[in-house]
Structure 1
Amino acid sequence: MKSRIMIAIMIFLLLPIAGYAEETSSIDRLDQLSDEALQMVKLHRYEDAKKLLDYFSDQFRATSGQVSILTSDEMRILTVSHDEAVQATANATINHNEKINRVTKFRLVMDAISSQNQPLWTEMEAPIMTVFGEMKEAVYNGDKEHFQSKFNTFLSLYDVIYPSMKINVTGERIQRLDTRIDYIDRYRPQVLADEGTQQELEALEADLQLLFDEMSDDEADPSLWWVIISTGSIIILTLSYVGWRKYKGDQQKEKNRSRGQK
């Protein structure tokens, strides 16, 4: 009877892990589909990309009951980025680079949802910070035309990672970045001569660099900690049960020995 109770307890403890694995598996499959769609766009196979995106939608609906780890904000961001990707692959008037940008945006969103630890959008650090440095150099060289060009490039790159950033970064931090970027954009005609706008430029660069640095730090996957804690509980419970059985067995032996001596 006690052994049956022990087995039931162990099964109960294992159920959350099994459920989490099922959800993770569903997310991973969807993540793979988003990557395959992006690869098709890079190869100019837009029709195949759209088929994969449509299939993604079907699979997402089929597993929506299992994928319960998504928040309402994540659902909204994912839906919007997916719709933009579908429109890009279906619209012949959209150029190749814009198609890649929109499907990349969707790909990064899906990855940000499936992998909280060092998401793919952090790999955009090099191009974004390089363009930002060139933008600053143009300001201090008094090259207005070059600044305008580099700032537009920066905005395009930032737009690609923005939805996925909103999944992994706090709303307060996103708001601070938005405020700085909006300020520079609003006063861009005067940026070469206005010291205040230049200070905002420096502050924005520092905020972005700090964000990328923090996101690149190695951190333990929260799901791994859950597995460790759950598995550890099972091991401790099992060892406790084995120890209890051994203790009861020793007690019974001692009683039998006492009876034999009488």
Structure 2
Amino acid sequence: MLVKNQKPKLPVLIFLIILLTAMSIPIFAHHQEGQAYDLLEEVYTVYELADANKYEAAREQLNQIKTALNTGHLSLSEEKLAYVLDVTENTIRHLESSIENHELKMDKVLAFVLMMESAKNPNSEMVVKWENQLTDQITNGLQSESRELQTEFYQVMDFYSIIYPAIKIKQDTKVWSQLDEQFINLNQIQNEEDMLHALNVMLQTFETLETPVDKQKDDDASLAWLIFTVGGVIVFTLFYVGFRKYKGEKKEKKIKKVDDL
């Protein structure tokens, strides 16, 4: 099993830059929905508390957010609300962990913040900037030298893990199982050749998911095409990785036969 190379950790720094940029736009000051404004304010309070190593206070804030979610402060379908609550509870568990370091805890908090931004506004400027950053990371990975590919791939997966809940929450729930399956399979890739293929798969998936959310809701044909395309990418990924595994096992058997002679 490959071990991740040591690499500079960028998500927290990038988040701070994007956050400061977003805060320069008076999107909250003129918001007419007081409840939604309060909810997002509480969400960012969680980030500030966790960043200051005040994990217990951050957990208390998350519990208050759970109460707000359960009392109608965010308009979502039942399935999407259940997912938001699950991610919120998962964030609490990570903040309670005595094993995870500050960096890992903050990754989970960032994922929570971005998800809440996306749940409130699928076209959130902050989420879009993170998606663009992820696309740039994928492109860098595809253009990297062979010796840098492993580092680039794991950095992409770090970014993807953080923004995945935000991407998932704004998609139609009909494609969730396919997105989850693809995400799991991408995280299991270890061979460098498979990593290169996986980056191409991810880029293709994001291009497919770029269909405006409003159009996906209003156009059944667009939704059907999205399901077909993402599903096709996943099937191809499974086939490709499975075939690679088959070839590897077959090669091992040949080597064993030679050794037994």
| Pair member with larger Rg | 1
CA RMSD of aligned residues (A): 3.5
- Give the corresponding residue for 1:102: 108
- Give the corresponding residue for 2:95: 89
1:137-152 equivalent positions in 2, closer than 5 A: 137-138=143-144, 141-143=145-147, 146-152=148-154
SS in 2 for 1:35: helix
Maintained 8 Å contact 1:184/1:191: no
Maintained 8 Å contact 1:113/1:167: yes
Compute the displacement of 1:106 (Å).
Answer: 1.4
- Give the corresponding residue for 2:129: 123
Distance change in 2, residues 1:86/1:163 (3 Å): same
Maintained 8 Å contact 1:28/1:114: no
Maintained 8 Å contact 1:38/1:107: yes
Is 2:59 the counterpart of 1:50? Answer: yes
Letter in 2 for 1:42: D
Maintained 8 Å contact 2:117/2:124: no
- Give the corresponding residue for 2:141: 135
- Give the corresponding residue for 1:168: 170
Cα distance in 1 between the residues matched to 2:55 and 2:69: 21
- Give the corresponding residue for 2:119: 113
Cα distance in 2 between the residues matched to 1:58 and 1:203: 38
Cα distance in 2 between the residues matched to 1:170 and 1:29: 26
Distance change in 2, residues 1:54/1:204 (3 Å): closer
Is 2:32 the counterpart of 1:31? Answer: no
Distance change in 2, residues 1:90/1:175 (3 Å): closer
- Give the corresponding residue for 1:257: none
- Give the corresponding residue for 1:256: none
Compute the displacement of 1:161 (Å).
Answer: 1.4
- Give the corresponding residue for 2:200: 202
Cα distance in 2 between the residues matched to 1:169 and 1:92: 34
Compute the displacement of 1:117 (Å).
Answer: 2.9
Equivalent pairs counted in the alignment come to: 186
Letter in 2 for 1:30: L
Compute the displacement of 1:109 (Å).
Answer: 1.8
- Summarize deviations over 1:141-199 as a string: whole Å, max 9, x none: 332xx32222122112111111221221235666666666666655641517xxxx755
- Summarize deviations over 1:105-163 as a string: whole Å, max 9, x none: 1112222222233353222134323322332233xx332xx322221221121111112
TM-score by length of 1: 0.57
Higher share of residues assigned helix: 1
Maintained 8 Å contact 1:181/1:204: no
Distance change in 2, residues 1:68/1:185 (3 Å): closer
Letter in 2 for 1:208: F
Structure 2 runs not aligned, ≥5 long: 1-30, 218-261
Cα distance in 1 between the residues matched to 2:83 and 2:37: 18
- Give the corresponding residue for 1:231: none
Structure 1 runs not aligned, ≥5 long: 1-20, 223-262
Letter in 2 for 1:117: N
Cα distance in 2 between the residues matched to 1:186 and 1:121: 26
- The percent identity for this pair of structures is 15
Cα distance in 1 between the residues matched to 2:189 and 2:67: 45
TM-score by length of 2: 0.58
